[in-house]
Structure 1
Amino acid sequence: MREMTKKFLEDAFAGESMAHMKYLIFAEEAEKKGLTNLAKLFKAIAYAEFVHARNHYTVLGKVGGMPDNIQQCINGENFEVNEMYPVYKETAKMQNENDAVRSTHYALEAEKIHEVMYRKAKQLVEEGKDYPEVKIYICSICGHTVEGSAPEKCPVCGSSREKYVEF
């Protein structure tokens, strides 16, 4: 693929991905306010943005075999843990942006767990196995991720077990 087309598709993927997430956030807010039809509109268009992002990512040749796909996840989580979030967090501290410090801390702690989970998944896939059938719980406040059962209290943000979403 020619460089300009590649760059444009990468930018389009990023834009569509952000739109997808933004619309899901707006859908959640609309639901909280009882605006169920507006929430449905946000969700529907978010799905369209996902389709666009998926198409761009596929055309870029980024979807490969499962070990390669998982390695992309490992690489991304590792970058976030070791480079991105530590710098973002320290910058927020330096600038006395306490909400940003908290947000980046929450993400950093969750990404550490995600990298470990993806490494386990890659090993299993390389052995011809699926990930174990296990309940996964995500804290809806900070993103803390745990397998098996949700803790009484989130070790990252202190939220109660009720704030965890089961997958």
Structure 2
Amino acid sequence: MSKTQENLMAAFAGESQANRKYLAYAKQADKEGLTMVAKLFRAAAEAETIHAHTHLRNAGKISDTAANLQDAISGETYEFTKMYPEMIKDAEAEGNNAVAKYMGFVNAVEEVHAKLYQKAAANELSNKDFYICPVCGYTHEGPMTEACPVCKAPAANFYTVG
């Protein structure tokens, strides 16, 4: 990999993290009633997304949808089979049980994501919106009628992503 390619991927990672961090900061500013600061954080987050997408495109990492689905399946599978199980063990070994529990939730959700991507690759998705658990990120095809199967959050709390 060339130095430029390495730099593009490092910049992509940094810009992606800044986006998510600034969105979290915006939520906190909103809670504190600092509307304009929250708007600034959201605006900067959007700009960071533009940067991240451009870096990823310049690195040649965006392909056709079939290849992108295979990449997503691979990434999610790595997360739920290797990355999170190891992180859970580390958190437990350090006595961070709350972190280990939450990472267990995330691990379960990453497996769901891999399965949904596999359905998409097989052209088997339904024509329904996706519903997201606001606690653990569980992703469901179609409306939720029961509590989250991962963290038990009420179905009424799920929100739509379409």
Query: What TM-score results when the alignment is normalised by the length of structure 1?
Result: 0.90
Alpha-carbon distance between aligned partners in 1 of 2:64 and 2:142, rounded to the nearest angstrom = 28
- What do you get for the CA RMSD once the two structures are aligned? 1.5
Cα deviation 1:118-144 (Å, max 9, x = unaligned): 0111121xxxx9x43202111101111
Gaps of 5+ in 2: none
Residue 132 of structure 2: aligned partner: 138
Residue 49 of structure 2: aligned partner: 50
> Given the alignment, which residue of 142, 158, 165 partners 2:159?
165
Residue type of the alignment partner of 2:43 = A
Q: CA deviation at 1:66?
A: 0.8
Matched ranges for 1:7-156 at <5 A: 7-124=6-123, 131-156=125-150
Q: How many residues align?
A: 161
| CA pair 123-57 structure 1, distance change in 2 beyond 3 A | same
Larger deviation: 81-90 or 140-149?
140-149
Secondary structure at the aligned position of 1:20 is classed as: helix
Residue type of the alignment partner of 2:130 = I
Secondary structure at the aligned position of 2:122 is classed as: helix
Secondary structure at the aligned position of 1:19 is classed as: helix
Cα deviation 1:82-120 (Å, max 9, x = unaligned): 110011011111111022102211210111110000011
Gaps of 5+ in 1: none
Secondary structure at the aligned position of 2:69 is classed as: helix
Alpha-carbon distance between aligned partners in 1 of 2:38 and 2:66, rounded to the nearest angstrom = 36
Residues 76, 114 of structure 2: 8 Å contact kept: yes
